[in-house]
Amino acid sequence: MSPPIPHLGLIYSEDVPAAVFDDFVENVSVAGLDLVLESREPNGPFAGMEWLIPTGVMLFIAQGYFSGLLGEMGKDHYSALKAGIKGPRDRFSVAQVTVVGSPGKASEDQPYSLFYSIYFEDPAGRRFKFLAPNGEAGDPDAERAMDAFGDFLEAAYGGSIPLSAMSWRARRPMAAQCS
């Protein structure tokens, strides 16, 4: 029997000190939250589409967070989570990831972090990966993108977005424009 899936999981490369996540843990920790932090060996080289490659820090938000804990805690904890996910984005916005590829195959200008990403499952079980936008800490465009992601999560689980409207989004990577 496999252990239950935690509400939130933060998996990071072991060359990132665990203390870096203290603020995140402090912001989101409440009684009843199952939060797991796990380090892993640093990644070696990958071959594949840049945006699909695992990032150095990955936050997983499980369905159980929305269907279990959030129902008990209400919107107060969701506000804490929305604020909490911005901290690692700001901290890792300066992390440099080297992309090497054949001429014309790898983009030199990366608008999204290849170091920090957030994964979640929608109510239908489809998995989404949110690549945090690059930009300095406090960058207004990055802040709007993080807020838009939080609003999308809330709408997806609050029923504001019909599952049929999201079905096409799960089939290919896409970039959302923030106004």
Task: Say what the pTM is.
Answer: 0.80
SS3 (DSSP) at 163: helix
- The reported pLDDT for the residue numbered 48 is 75
- The reported pLDDT for the residue numbered 178 is 46
If you average pLDDT over each of 20-24, 87-91, 111-115, which comes out highest? 20-24
Averaged pLDDT for residues 121-145: 83
Averaged pLDDT for residues 15-39: 91
- The reported pLDDT for the residue numbered 141 is 87
Burial grade of 31 (CB within 10 A; 0-12, 13-18, 19 or more):
exposed
Instruction: Report yes or no: 131 and 57 within 8 Å, Cβ to Cβ.
Output: no
Task: Spell out the domain ranges in the chain.
Answer: 8-171
Average per-residue pLDDT for the chain:
80
Instruction: Report yes or no: 150 and 82 within 8 Å, Cβ to Cβ.
Output: yes
Averaged pLDDT for residues 40-48: 81
